[in-house]
Chain A
Amino acid sequence: MRLALRETMIGFRRAPMLSVLSITTIAFSLFAFGLFSLVAVNIRKTLGEVESRVEIRAFLADGTPVEVVSAAMGDIGAFPEVSRVEYVSPDSALARARAELGEFKDVFESAFLPASIDIRMREGHRDPETLKTIAGRIKSFEFVDDVRYGEDWVDKLYRIRNVATAAGLVLGLAFAAVAVIIIGATIRMAVMARAREISIMRLVGATDAFIRRPFLIDGFLKGILGGLLALGLTWFASQVISHNFIQTAFFSRGLASLGLLGGAMIGVVGSSLSVGRHLRKV
């Protein structure tokens, strides 16, 4: 272990430019990844907020008896997907409409709005499929005139989120692959620079694992350093965006350490691949 660290240090001193270059390339790969993740994190956060407001509104037929309504509310409230059921009387519906459309409140001066039941869904049951099923079930109550749940925009919301997640995954993997290739190439240069030492190591009986070790540690350290640099750059970018455009959330501590771990993984995988290829040849 101590020898491995010493060899890593020697490698750094022997080719400082190469080391700096590989750390920077890892940093920029992860930075690009980080920026995208930042966007994804913020989209998801916003979607989550909007989503929590998703509700089904069932408009009731005129003159439905109160007992029937409250019995139905009990039934609906017992659905496992439903978190809350609320009765909105014609009066409060009017008040709410006035409040929401302040400037146009005169329009509602003498209008009549039907009573409704507002239904909130539990988390994890706010997807279009479930909403549709539940809305259908509620619509089958005789005294329900109409059911609205914003089919269109719930659909759209979900599609945006799925696209964002998929794009994040694809781009993330692509960037990771690029970073693996770059560190693989830089480690290969380090391996080449030490081909003579490696051949002597093998001659006197060093195992592949031993020969690989300093390069893996090298890749690991470069990955961590690159990851830290990328994290700093991403944080800086999020500050700039927050101050000049919109408030953005930064990664949680867990996500940030996941990023560092990702950098370390890229470093280790990249160097392991390129050392492995060299060892198979000699």
Chain B
Amino acid sequence: MIRFQHVYKEYPRSGLVLQDVSLFVGKGEFIFLTGPSGAGKSSLLKLIYMEELPTKGDVWVSGVRSKGVKRKEVAKLRRKLGVVFQDFRLLEDRTAEANVAFALEVIDAPRSAIQPKVARALAQVGLAAKGTSMPREMSGGEQQRVAIARALVNDPFVLVADEPTGNLDERATRGVFQLLRDINASGTAVVMATHNLELVRRSGYRTIEINRGQVVFDSGDGDRAKKVEVLA
């Protein structure tokens, strides 16, 4: 699944932002990634979808190794994982449907497969009736659901979410979180960075806390991770 082995990440002007991070994410897990702003959460997630590569150490994601990885392999990898952000990253000039379909069109999916997959993904996030709405006509919670539908449309094995509720009010936050739990319940692993400690505490999911680039706490570390690894 996902494995970090003694990973260091250094940016030209910021210095070391991740130090000796080792962790394992098993199949179908739900993991919270917490820590103060600037701790390195987003950087860690970027290493998962290989937007960034480690300065030292190794990252393995679904059999793809970060060391010497080719751009084309990264593209292929991203078809198997979904990513959502705080700011949704929708295309403002097209409908919800078109935004979801975009993820299929740009990987040259067969045209006949696009329509049913888009409809299914929108239904999965509870927006079956809003397919023809434009992003600006939707609430923040709805826009994030469209982004999640786009991330899900290729049946990813993991959903990577970087503060997906950061821009949402409490109600929408609860709704989106519930949606992520449902997605996880149907077998997709979720790695979610968040500031919302209340959400984390109530859920009981495995939590990894990082501070200044180091893992300072992992509730699922040790035996459990090894067990999951064996199962995977």
Contacts and interface: CB of A to CB of B under 8 A. Distances in A.
A207 B72 CA distance: 6
Contacts of B65: none
Interface stretch (B104-112, B177-185, B214-222): B104-112
A interface: dominant SS: helix
B46 to A, nearest CB: 11
B72 A208 contact: yes
Interface stretch (A40-48, A166-174, A176-184, A196-204): A196-204
Given A3-B105, A200-B102, A201-B106, A206 B75 contact: yes
B76 interface: yes
Interface string B75-88: 11111000100000
B75 A205 contact: yes
B78 A203 contact: yes
Interface residues of A toward B: which range?
Answer: 10 to 19
B78 A207 contact: no
B3 interface: no
B78 A204 contact: yes
Interface residues of B toward A: which range?
Answer: 10 to 19
Contacts, number: 47
A206 B83 contact: no
Contact of B79 (A196, A199, A200, A205): A205
Interface string B154-177: 100000000000000000000000
Contacts of B136: none
Contact of B89 (A200, A207, A208, A211): A200
Contact of B107 (A197, A199, A206, A208): A206
A200 B108 CA distance: 15
Given A196-B91, A200-B89, A200-B91, A205 B77 contact: yes
A210 interface: yes
Contacts of B106: 3, 201, 204-206, 210-211
A199 B76 CA distance: 15
Given A204-B78, A206-B75, A208-B75, 19 more contacts: A3-B105, A3-B106, A196-B89, A196-B91, A200-B89, A200-B102, A201-B102, A202-B75, A202-B78, A204-B79, A204-B103, A204-B107, A204-B150, A205-B75, A205-B79, A205-B154, A207-B75, A210-B107, A210-B108
